[in-house]
Structures are given as C-alpha cells and as structure tokens.
Homo-oligomer: A and B are copies of this chain.
Amino acid sequence: MDEHRLTVKGRATRERILAAAAELILRQGVAGTQLDDVRRAAGVSGSQLTHYFHDKQTLIDDVIAWQAHTTLKREPALDTFDAWRRWADQVVARQTARKFQGGCDFGSLAGQLAETSPETRAHLADGYDRWLSQFRHSLDRMRDQGLLRADADPDSLAHMLLAAMQGGVLLSQTLRRPEPLRDSLDAALAQLESFAG
C-alpha cells in the first residue's frame, strides 16, 4: 500500500493503527502482539486492518519504518556539548518514566527482529543508518564550528554515542534500574568532550 495515495482520513487511520501496534509491541514484544490486539487497540475492523496491512509481516515492517521516522523526528539538533548533555538526560528521563519497560522504541525492534528475514533486517539497518547519519551531521557541524578538534572522527563518534545509548538502554531495560544507562551515557559524553577543540 502506497501511503501517499491514501486520503487524509485513510492516512489518519493507517497512522492510528501503526501507533497502536508500536505501543503494544513496546509493552509486550513482537511475539506477544497479535493482529487482533492491534485491531482492538486501534479501534478498527479486521477488514480495515487488512486493507492497510496485508499481514503481520507487512505491519511489522511498516512499524519499523514508522518508529525510525518518529524516533528521528524527536531528536533535537545535537550541535553543542550542552545539547548532547540534554539529549542524554532526556534518554534517561524517558526510560525512567516508563520504568525501563520496553527498551528503546526503535532499538528494541532491532533486538527482536534482526534475524527474522533479510527484508526486515534491511528495514532495521536503514533506520540505524539514518540515525547514525543524523548524529554524524551534527558532529560534523560541531567540528566545522571548532567545538570539536580537527582530528575528531564524526563517523566513529556517532557509532560510539549510538552504541552507548542502545547498550545502556538494553541493560537498564533488563535490570529495571537507571545506572547502566546513566553510566554508559556519561562515559560517552566524557569521550565526546575529550575531543573538545
């Protein structure tokens, strides 16, 4: 289904189904989420659901793209050290508010689905690549403005920052406590600041 060909109302319904599915998957995992739960949570009929999403696999692939888009749209401009510190605080606050349940909105999908099929993995890889590229552009700007030294490598720093966040969230999700995430992000920020110009 090409979402651009939908009417305004159709797009709103599709969006409602995706948001409901994403929320259920975050709370109970992909395997624990059935199409019928999604249908009920979104308040649509079975035939409506099938109209927008052919089957569970289609729905899941579209949830991946939707979560990547939603997660990236939420990211602020990260082109100062202060902005990165606020980002880390927000990541910790967000996970703490939900009592560390569900993990990262996007990363938890990667953890659950990376080996399900080559197509699904490609969707997940696309999301991470766009996320890394957004980080890299911010770090490029910081280097251009002299906030980071010329020998800082935006590519490698982007890997380090995203990995620290993804690993920290996974540990905090499993252990249901903030320290692993907080310590991991603080170390990543210290590492970033060690390249201050």
Contact = CB atoms under 8 A, between A and B. Distances in A.
Interface of A: 27-32, 101-103, 107-108, 110-116, 121, 124-125, 128-129, 132, 155-157, 159-160, 162-168, 170-171, 173-176, 179-181, 183-184, 186-188, 190-191, 194
A105 to B, nearest CB: 13
A47 B95 CA distance: 44
Q: Is the interface of A mostly helix, strand, loop or mixed?
A: helix
A170 B110 CA distance: 8
Contacts of A28: 115
Given A175-B128, A191-B187, A180 B167 contact: no
Given A159-B171, A191-B190, A114 B103 contact: yes
A124 B174 contact: yes
Chain B CB count within 10 A is highest, among A28, A125, A183, A194, for: A183
Contacts of A111: 103, 108, 110-112, 170
A166 B164 CA distance: 8
30 contacts: A29-B114, A29-B116, A31-B116, A101-B115, A110-B111, A110-B173, A121-B174, A125-B174, A128-B175, A129-B175, A132-B180, A156-B179, A156-B183, A157-B187, A159-B171, A159-B180, A160-B186, A160-B187, A162-B180, A163-B170, A163-B180, A163-B184, A164-B164, A164-B184, A165-B167, A166-B166, A187-B188, A187-B191, A190-B191, A191-B191
